[in-house]
């Protein structure tokens, strides 16, 4: 039955090459922890991706309750945390995922660095990876404000004051992020929400796609 | 792949009428014990992912995500602190060479060099050798950078009393912030304690919330006289009778209505 359904779709759309392109690749011995336990260091990149998926899914559920205005932001988070069934778990996953993804990313970066895996011909993928690192730090910075509690508010204020001190374009950067040259308030929350939920995830998806396509084209780096 | 004449299509579409085989490639001639990702390796990877997820969910269940009180932009006593992975940058700005007149060094030059070098690492370290001992400069720089980040993060985090911070900033819903101002002890609270413990006993950066304190009346009375932690002695300077009213006010304001 399933096979017939697959054949029916395949005859019309020719989907076999599409998913074979993704699924058909070799896993060399030196990256396989089943053969060499020390190869677990190759897991960090995959675990980073896994946590990013957790962040996307939990974040999607959080937006079902979260309200990005200064009157209700904190109340909606409080409600989610206290009253919504399993809300505490979903928010907990998003909160801890934000930290775990940084840890995994850090370990993945160190693995690639100390193995010299960024050398020719993989320079471009290293740079895409560093841009991914910056994007995820940006997601961490913008997401920190959203619960609109004291630690969020004052950390963001400090962050924006630091941005303001950049010569020439500092005040413009601050206004762009905060929505106002002086006030950290309703506009700031809306902008950080938009950046956190639309702009940066867009960049994240594009960069991840390039990262993975390049890995598939170049193959994983050989053993040292 | 078939090219040129004789190609057959499904209907008038561009989909080839010839079905391709669906057998995984043969990796047996690859060096070493190479394995197919699909489905052999994916099954093992899935198990690692499941174990990781169990650990992650355990962490989530054991430590609920923190939430502090609703943002109060007028608060002047709150000590800001970024999330832990920005602490090293925050700590850097406390050094004399990276603050005040040299702040650009702290916010642009040093992070710019560090992250710029990270981004351009393949071009700075462009020798052919991949092993760490073949590129001592790059490896040393990275080890120094990692050590600095770890040290700065530790320096920044170790001086913070995280438990006290969490205790002082417990989330209290704005609708529930009501105190009985007609209570005889309120005037003494207002005069002696409110500056640090907040107008509604909700706590401020300088003192913890008293709304849900677990201390007994005797303990509260002792603390008001003798102080505790960062709270100095003789904060309350009224008579014993006034102290009794004050303690009664704090105890009666407990949220669970004890």
Which residues numbered 115-144 in A keep a CB inside 8 Å of some CB on B? 115-120, 122-123, 126-127, 130-131, 133-134, 137, 140-141, 144
pLDDT in tens, B158-176: 999 998 888 888 888 877 7
Give exposure, A34-50, as e/b (b: 16+ Cβ within 10 Å): eeeeebebbbbbebbbb
φ, ψ dihedrals at B16, nearest 5°:
-65, 140
pLDDT in tens, B76-112: 788 899 999 999 999 999 999 998 899 999 999 999 9
Look at residues A196, A23, A50, A145 and name the one whose alpha carbon lies nearest to residue B49: A50
**C-beta of residue A178 within 8 angstroms of C-beta of residue A158:** no
Look at residues B143, B162, B160, B144 and name the one whose alpha carbon lies nearest to residue B90: B160
User: Using CA atoms, how far apart are residues A143 and A65, in angstroms rounded to an integer?
Assistant: 15
User: Does the beta carbon of A198 lie under 8 angstroms from any beta carbon of chain B?
Assistant: no
Q: What is the pLDDT of residue B177?
A: 66
Q: What is the pLDDT of residue B1?
A: 56
User: Does the beta carbon of B55 lie under 8 angstroms from any beta carbon of chain A?
Assistant: no
> Measured between CA atoms, how close is B62 to chain A, in angstroms?
10
Residues ≥6 apart with Cβ < 8 Å to B11:
none
Cβ within 8 Å, pair B107-A30: no
> Measured between CA atoms, how close is A218 to chain B, in angstroms?
16
> Measured between CA atoms, how close is B71 to chain A, in angstroms?
4
User: Using CA atoms, how far apart are residues B219 and A25, in angstroms rounded to an integer?
Assistant: 68
Residues of B in contact with A131 (CB under 8 A): 119
Instruction: Tell me the average pLDDT of chain B.
Output: 86
H helices of B30-178, in order, are 42-62, 87-92, 103-104, 110-119, 121-124, 136-158, 162-168
User: Using CA atoms, how far apart are residues B8 and B15, in angstroms rounded to an integer?
Assistant: 9
> Measured between CA atoms, how close is A18 to chain B, in angstroms?
12
CA B52 vs CA A88, B60, B199, B239: distances in Å: 20, 12, 46, 60
The secondary structure of chain A, three-state, reads: CHHHHHHHHHHHHCCHHHHHHHHCCEECHHHCCCCCHHHHHHHHHHHHHHHHHHHHHHHHHHCCCCCCCCCCHHHHHHHHHHCCCCHHHHHHHHHHHHHHHHHHHHHHHHHHHHCCCCCCCCHHHHHHHHHHHHHHHHHHHHHHHCCCEHHHHHHHHHHHHHHHCCCCCHHHHHHHHHCCCCCCCHHHHHHHHHHHHHHHHHHHHHHHHHHHHHHHHHCCCCCC
Full-model pTM: 0.83
Residues of B in contact with A47 (CB under 8 A): 49, 52
ipTM for the complex? Answer: 0.92
User: Using CA atoms, how far apart are residues B242 and B7, in angstroms rounded to an integer?
Assistant: 100
User: Using CA atoms, how far apart are residues B111 and B232, in angstroms rounded to an integer?
Assistant: 41
> Measured between CA atoms, how close is A219 to chain B, in angstroms?
13
Is the pLDDT score of B17 beyond 50?
Answer: yes
**C-beta of residue B209 within 8 angstroms of C-beta of residue B170:** yes
**Higher pLDDT among residues A194 and B40, named by residue:** A194
3-state secondary structure of B122: helix
Instruction: Report, in angstroms and rounded to the nearest whole number, the Rg of chain B calculated over CA atoms.
Output: 32
Between the two ends of chain A, the Cα-to-Cα distance in Å is 48
Which letter does DSSP use for residue B24 in this model?
P
User: Using CA atoms, how far apart are residues B136 and B47, in angstroms rounded to an integer?
Assistant: 38
Q: Report the residue of B67, B78, B148, B202 to disrupt the A interface, i.e. the one with the largest count of A CBs within 10 Å.
A: B67
pLDDT in tens, B185-236: 888 888 888 888 877 777 777 788 787 777 888 888 888 888 887 788 888 8
Q: Determine the residue of chain A that is closest to B101 in CA distance.
A: A165
**Higher pLDDT among residues A64 and B237, named by residue:** A64
Cβ within 8 Å, pair A119-B128: yes
Q: What is the pLDDT of residue B258?
A: 37
User: Using CA atoms, how far apart are residues A103 and A95, in angstroms rounded to an integer?
Assistant: 13
Write out chain A's pLDDT in tens, 224 residues: 999 999 999 989 988 888 888 888 889 999 999 899 999 999 999 999 999 999 999 999 999 999 999 999 999 999 999 999 999 999 999 999 999 999 999 999 999 999 999 999 999 999 999 999 999 999 999 999 999 999 999 999 999 999 999 999 999 999 999 999 999 999 999 999 999 999 999 999 999 999 999 999 998 998 98
Share of chain B above pLDDT 70, in %: 96
User: Does the beta carbon of B108 lie under 8 angstroms from any beta carbon of chain A?
Assistant: yes
């Amino acid at each position: 039955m399933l096979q017939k359904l697959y054949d029916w779709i395949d005859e019309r759309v020719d989907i076999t090459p599409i998913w074979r392109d993704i699924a058909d690749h070799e896993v060399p011995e030196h990256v396989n922890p089943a053969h060499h336990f020390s190869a677990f260091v190759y897991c960090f990149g995959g675990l980073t991706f896994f946590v990013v998926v957790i962040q996307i899914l939990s974040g999607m559920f959080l937006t079902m309750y979260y309200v990005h205005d200064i009157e209700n932001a904190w109340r909606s988070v409080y409600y989610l945390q206290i009253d919504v069934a399993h809300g505490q778990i979903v928010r907990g996953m998003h909160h801890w995922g934000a930290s775990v993804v940084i840890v995994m990313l850090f370990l993945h970066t160190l693995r690639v660095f100390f193995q010299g895996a960024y050398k020719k011909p993989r320079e471009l993928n290293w740079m895409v990876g560093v841009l991914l690192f910056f994007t995820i730090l940006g997601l961490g910075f913008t997401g920190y404000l959203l619960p609109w509690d004291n630690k969020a508010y004052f950390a963001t204020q400090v962050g924006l004051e630091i941005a303001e001190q950049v010569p020439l374009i500092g005040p413009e950067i601050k206004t762009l992020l905060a929505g106002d040259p002086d006030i950290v308030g309703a506009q700031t929350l809306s902008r950080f929400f938009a950046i956190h939920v639309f702009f940066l995830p867009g960049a994240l998806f594009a960069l991840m796609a390039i990262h993975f396509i390049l890995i598939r084209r170049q193959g994983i780096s050989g053993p040292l | 792949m078939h090219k040129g004449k004789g190609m057959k299509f499904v209907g008038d579409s561009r989909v080839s009428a010839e079905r391709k085989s669906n057998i995984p490639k043969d990796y047996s001639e690859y060096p070493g014990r190479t394995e197919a990702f699909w489905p052999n390796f994916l099954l093992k990877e899935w198990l690692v992912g499941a174990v990781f997820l169990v650990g992650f969910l355990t962490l989530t269940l054991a430590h609920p995500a923190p939430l502090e009180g609703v943002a109060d932009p007028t608060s002047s006593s709150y000590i800001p602190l970024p999330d832990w992975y920005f602490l090293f940058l925050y700590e850097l700005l406390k050094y004399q060479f990276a603050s005040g007149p040299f702040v650009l060094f702290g916010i642009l030059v040093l992070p710019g060099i560090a992250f710029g070098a990270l981004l351009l690492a393949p071009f700075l370290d462009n020798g052919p050798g991949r092993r760490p001992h073949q590129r001592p400069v790059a490896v040393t720089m990275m080890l120094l950078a990692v050590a600095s980040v770890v040290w700065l993060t530790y320096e920044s985090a170790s001086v913070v009393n995280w438990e006290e911070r969490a205790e002082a900033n417990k989330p209290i819903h704005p609708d529930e912030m009501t105190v009985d101002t007609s209570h005889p002890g309120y005037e003494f609270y207002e005069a002696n304690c409110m500056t640090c413990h907040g107008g509604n006993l909700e706590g401020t950066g300088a003192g913890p919330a008293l709304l849900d304190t677990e201390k007994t009346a005797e303990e509260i009375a002792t603390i008001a006289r003798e102080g505790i932690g960062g709270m100095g002695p003789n904060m309350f300077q009224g008579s014993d009778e006034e102290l009794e009213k004050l303690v009664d006010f704090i105890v009666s304001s407990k949220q669970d209505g004890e």
